[in-house]
Amino acid sequence: MAEEVSGAPGDAPSRRKFFLITGWSSLGLFLAGAGAAFAKYFYPGVLYEPQTTFNAGKPSDFVKPANPNETIVDERFKKSQRVWIMRNTNGIYVMVAVCTHLGCTPNWFPGEQRFKCPCHGSNYNTQGEVVAGPAPLPLFRAKLSIAPDGSMIVTTGLLGIKRAELQYKKGVLLPRWTDEEKKDIAKAPYFLELKA
């Protein structure tokens, strides 16, 4: 019997060995399937999270600065949508108020013209570029489009923002925009140009 179990070299596997293999591999398959199902259980199929698209009102609702070097930060959507609406002399862009370091909400300090994160001290300028602190990337830009009635539709959420696209760009990710990225974020859908 013992020879049969181990099987002489070159022999076809004995019936006992066959059952042994089949038995253990079905058990293994069963356990793997059960484990996968358990893991899958933690991924809900539907989320009840706040909308990541919202209507931000007419562009004319946002004050245009007098000085071309100045940007006016509008905080009216910070609490409800976690974004700032930024208005400079050329147009409007939307920055997501999520620190690129570990996701806290930075605060706007008009006196210093800086966003500062309370968590680990990252500082951003009005372009969202990191001027101090540990943050590895500029603040994300939300997408902006115009609805038929002329109001602005903002798409936030980590799927509709500039950074998600940056992920797939090879090369270094910098805390400041590169020249190429600057051209990118200065046009639609990240920038709404407004004449006059």
Partner 1 sequence: MSQTPGHGGDQKPGKLKILADYIQSTDAWKSFFRTGYPDSLLKRMAVMRSSFVMHILPTKVGVHGLKLGYTWCMGGITLFLFLMLTLTGVILMFYYVPEEHRAFTDMKDLKFMVPYGMIMRNMHRWTAHAMVFSVIVHMARVFYTGSYKPPRQFNWVVGVILLKLTLLLSFTGYLLPWDQLGFWAVTVGTNMASATPLVGYEGPFSEFLGIRVDNDIRFAIIGGTRIGPNALIRAYVWHCVGLPLIASGLMVFHFWRVRKDGFSGPL
| Chain contacts with ligand FES (rule: CB under 6 A) | 99, 101-104, 117, 119-122, 133-135
Cβ–Cβ under 8 Å, residues 109 and 115: yes
The stretch among 122-130, 139-147, 151-159, 188-196 that binds partner 1 (CB under 8 A) is: 151-159
Is 37 a binder of partner 1 (CB under 8 A)?
no
Chosen residue from 43, 111, 172, 179 binding partner 1 by CB under 8 A: 43
Is 38 a binder of partner 1 (CB under 8 A)?
no
Judged by CB, which is closer to partner 1: 57, or 157?
157
Judged by CB, which is closer to partner 1: 133, or 157?
157
Judged by CB, which is closer to partner 1: 72, or 95?
95
Residues that bind partner 1 (CB under 8 A): 39, 42-44, 47-49, 102-104, 119, 157-159, 164, 167-168
